Structure 1
Amino acid sequence: MSIQKATINELNSLIELFDSYRVFYHQESNLEGARKFLKDRLVNEDSVVFIAYDEGNPIGFVQLYPSFSSVGMKRSWVLNDLFVNVTARKKGFGEKLIKKAIEYAEDTGAKGILLETGHDNVTAQSLYEKIGFKRESNFFYYFSL
């Protein structure tokens, strides 16, 4: 297995993974929309994507979005997307992708990484806690349109 930072050169490898990720979250498949969205993120450097390969085949990715801590006066990262193909799950790829994201956050001097997951996604929660993420209990999160 290898993990590399995605550039526009990896766009075609990412499209089906990203589309499958969206379908997992009950969205309709949209390969052209996925292409445009990812291309914009990569070209505009709006996010950082790491893609995992197993025997040369793309099997997963993690996408980080930049944020900042005004109090800490440092960059932070939002781990917004993590996906591993169904056929490659339970083999440690998700953990390796997250650890790559943590390494990148350390390399960029970030304050930390924030992520969220559903209350019912106990598999992901277990993985995050195993790696060292702590469940936040001091804050409420709100969302508005």
Structure 2
Amino acid sequence: MDAYQAKMEDLEGLSKLFNSYRMFYQQTPDLDGAITYIKRRLENKDSVIFVVKNEQDYVGFTQLYPTFSSISMKKAWILNDLYVDVQDRKKGIGERLLQKAREYAIETGAISISLSTAQTNNAAQRLYERNGYQLDSKFYQYELSLR
């Protein structure tokens, strides 16, 4: 199974997977909302999504959003989403998606990829660390919620 950049023809299968991802994070199921959201990302090209499929189903995806580093004056990417369907975990799919994101970041001249994950998501933390991601001990991350 190879990871490739999602296109509009991946919308339905990718949206189902995206809906599952949101439910993993305790969000109310909303397939119509997921379809609308993913469709907008693909149409507007304001994110880059890589997917992995087996013969019949979409089994994993990652979504990158562009940003910039003022300090380095270079492009950077935020790996905002990474999800592998429950029955397809421990098959190297998450690893392949991270490799594809890394390759893409290098191709686009980015200085870094950043991500965050739940403090309790130990499996994801191990995956990220195996792939060279390091826990940031220099900066605190803050968020201003507007809802």
The question of a shared fold, defined as TM-score above 0.5 by the shorter chain, is answered with yes
User: In 2, Cα distance between the equivalents of 1:2 and 1:12?
Assistant: 19
Give the TM-score taking structure 2 as reference length: 0.96
Q: 2:7 — aligned with what?
A: 7
Deviation string, structure 1 residues 25-65 (Cα, Å, up to 9, x no partner): 00111010001001111100110000001224211100000
Aligned to 1:25: 25
Structure 1 runs (4+) greater than 3 angstroms displaced? none
* Aligned twin of 1:121: 121
Shift of 1:120: 1.2
The gaps in structure 2 that reach 5 residues or longer are none
User: 1:133 is aligned with what amino acid?
Assistant: Y
Distance 1:120 1:57 in 2: 28
User: Quick one: percent identity of the two aligned structures?
Assistant: 48
Per-residue deviation, 1:71: 1.1
**CA offset at residue 79 of structure 1?**
0.3
1:73 positional shift: 0.9
Q: Is the 8 A contact 2:63 2:80 kept in 1?
A: yes
Pairs within 5 Å for 1:76-95 = 76-95=76-95
Query: Is the deviation greater in 18-27 or in 50-59?
Result: 50-59
Give the aligned length.
145
RMSD of equivalent CA atoms = 0.8
Indicate the residue corresponding to 1:47 in structure 2. 47
Give the C-alpha shift of residue 8 in structure 1: 1.4
Contact 2:2 2:96 in 1 (8 A): no
Instruction: Give 2:97's aligned residue.
Output: 97
Gaps of 5+ in 1: none
